[in-house]
A and B are shown apart, each in its own frame.
Chain A
């Protein structure tokens, strides 16, 4: 079955960087669009980025992270990444990766368990 496992979270100082990973299994990773979300403590879900399937080459970002975060993927490793630079207190959240639906409609049918990022001095 589909499995997504995030890693790379932790404590980082404001202005620092962190790279999150999402290991995928149980499906043809290269065929699927993928996305990152986050959820600040006690808050709702926030979409932050998506990346197209491996044969295409585009991505998009929420305004809140544009210019600071970079999404990428490696089909040989079956992994999705989120490079986070210039981190701020307000980036503190649980970060989730998810698959975009197989029919291409932009809802999300499989989610990882999340990884916690804490930005604090």
Chain B
């Protein structure tokens, strides 16, 4: 079973600044990785799939990179609506579907 580890658990960033979130897989998942955003009280929303492809309607300030076991989600210039929890999820080997524990991006 693949374990996904996200870091940091909490990231404090000022509006307009860049945020870099990390996700590590316990074994290679190729590029079969997705990122989700969950705003407070809301359902998750797909941001990125296949490690770097933006989902429909996702702004270009969100970008994903990486392969194998190391992945990064970058938000180039944080907007107020971007303060949320972000989860990575591998889909190379399933079931079970594995999520990381999440990174909370908060206002500095």
Are A and B a genuine interacting pair, yes or no? yes
Identify the A interface with B (CB < 8 A): 35, 44-47, 50, 60-63, 96, 98, 101, 105-114
By a CB distance below 8 angstroms, the chain A residues around B105 are none
Residues of B contacting A: mostly: loop
Q: Tell me, rounded to whole Å, the shortest Cβ–Cβ distance linking A58 to chain B.
A: 11
20 extra A-B contacts, CB within 8 A, seeds A44-B87, A45-B99, A96-B44: A35-B97, A44-B101, A44-B102, A45-B102, A47-B97, A47-B99, A60-B95, A61-B95, A62-B95, A98-B44, A105-B49, A105-B91, A106-B97, A107-B49, A107-B91, A108-B34, A108-B89, A109-B49, A110-B46, A111-B43
Q: Are A106 and B87 in contact (CB under 8 A)?
A: no
Q: Tell me, rounded to whole Å, the shortest Cβ–Cβ distance linking A35 to chain B.
A: 8
Assembly CA distance A60 to B99 (angstroms): 17
- Assess A46 versus B46: contact at CB under 8 Å? Given A105-B91, A109-B55: no
Q: Tell me, rounded to whole Å, the shortest Cβ–Cβ distance linking B71 to chain A.
A: 13
Interface: B45 (CB within 8 A): yes
Identify the B interface with A (CB < 8 A): 32, 34, 36, 38, 42-46, 49-50, 55-56, 87, 89, 91, 94-102
Assembly CA distance A96 to B105 (angstroms): 22
By a CB distance below 8 angstroms, the chain A residues around B94 are 106
Assembly CA distance A50 to B43 (angstroms): 18
Residue in contact with B34 in the complex, picked from A50, A62, A107, A111, CB distance below 8 Å = A107
